[in-house]
Structure 1
Amino acid sequence: MSPVPVSYEVRVADGPGDREACFAVRKEVFVVEQGVPEDLEYDAYDVVAVHVLAVRDDGVPLGAGRLLHGEAAVGKTGGEPGVGVLGRLAVLGEVRGLGVGVALVRAVEEAARARGLTAVDLGAQTHALGFYERLGYVAYGPEFLDAGMPHRAMRRVL
C-alpha cells in the first residue's frame, strides 16, 4: 500500500519554534528510530546552520535538514571554498516516499546557491545512496562510519 498524499510546504526555519520542530523530527528519526546517541545528534554547528523544515498544512513537522556553509563547512569539506554541507536530513516514517526528502534537499541546495556556493557535499548512509544519486549526487572516497553506521561522501555541483 502506498502512502497517502499529504499537503506540505518546505521553508527555511525561522525562529526558535521552527528550530525546535527541526530538532523534534531529527530526534524521532535519528535518536528514536536509528538509535543515534542524543549527544552525537546535536552539535555546535546547529547554532550557525541554515535549517530547512517541511511542515504539513496544519503545522505538523514532517522533515528537516540543514546546510553548513562558510567556516562551519571548512572542517567537513577540507576547506574547499564554495562548498556547503547538507546534513541531518530526516523525514518521518509515515511520509517517506511522498517527495518530502526531495523537497528538503532542493531547499538546502537553493539556500546554498543564495549564499554563493557552487557545490554541496553530504555524508549519506549507504542505504540512501540511490536516493541521493537520483538527485544528482555522486559518491566519492571510501565508506566510513558515522554514529556507528556506514556512510559514503557525496557531492553535487550546483
Structure 2
Amino acid sequence: MKIALAETDALKQACFAIRRAVFIEEQRIPEPEEWDDYDAIALHYLAEDAFGPAGTARVISRDDSAKIGRVAVLQRHRGTGLGAQIMRAVMADAKARGFARAELESQVYAIPFYGRLGFVAEGPEYDDGSGIMHRLMRADL
C-alpha cells in the first residue's frame, strides 16, 4: 500500500471520490456538509494499492496543530489495518512539517480506534451538523 500526499488535481479527485463513497453514499451525510472551503487549502493524502485508490485523509493547519479529518477507507479495505496505516503516515508527515500536536473530531464509534493511536478524547459529545455524534481528540506528535 502506498500512502502519499495527493499533489495533483487527479490525485485530489481520487481522495474526493473516496469521501463521496464513504461519507455521502454510505453514511448519508448531506453533500453540502461534506465539502467545505478547507478542501482548497488542506493537505490531502491518498492510500493506493495495485488496484487503485483505497483510503484518504486531510490535514488543516491550525497554528502548531495539525487538524486531521475526512479519514475514510473504502469498504473493501476495512479491517485490514489501512486506517491505522493512513493515520500513522499522516501523523509522521505532520510531525516532519513541524506540528507539535494533532487533533481531530472523531465519530463516537471510532474513539477506541484513535485512542489506540495515542489520541485522548476531550470534552463532551456533540453533533457536528451531520447528525452523527462526535468528540474532540488530541495527541502530541
TM-score category of the 2 structures, normalised to the smaller one:
over 0.9
Which residue matches 1:30?
Answer: 23
Q: Does 1:127 align with 2:100?
A: no
2:60 to 63, 68, 89: 68
Number of equivalent positions: 140
Q: Deviations over 1:24-68 (max 9, x none)?
A: 00000000000011111111101111111011123x111000000
Q: Deviations over 1:92-147 (max 9, x none)?
A: 11111111111111121122112211000000000001100011100001101021
2:80 to 88, 98, 115: 98
TM-score, L = length of structure 2: 0.96
Structure 1: 5+ residue stretches without partners: 1-7, 74-80
Q: Distance in 1 between matches of 2:3 and 2:94?
A: 15
Matches within 5 A, 1:49-88: 49-58=42-51, 60-69=52-61, 73=62, 81-88=63-70
More strand by share: 2
Q: What is the RMSD of the two structures over their aligned residues, measured on CA atoms?
A: 0.9
Q: Distance in 1 between matches of 2:81 and 2:57?
A: 14
Which residue matches 2:139?
Answer: 156
Structure 2: 5+ residue stretches without partners: none
Runs of 4+ in 1 over 6 A off after TM superposition: none
Q: Percent identity?
A: 42
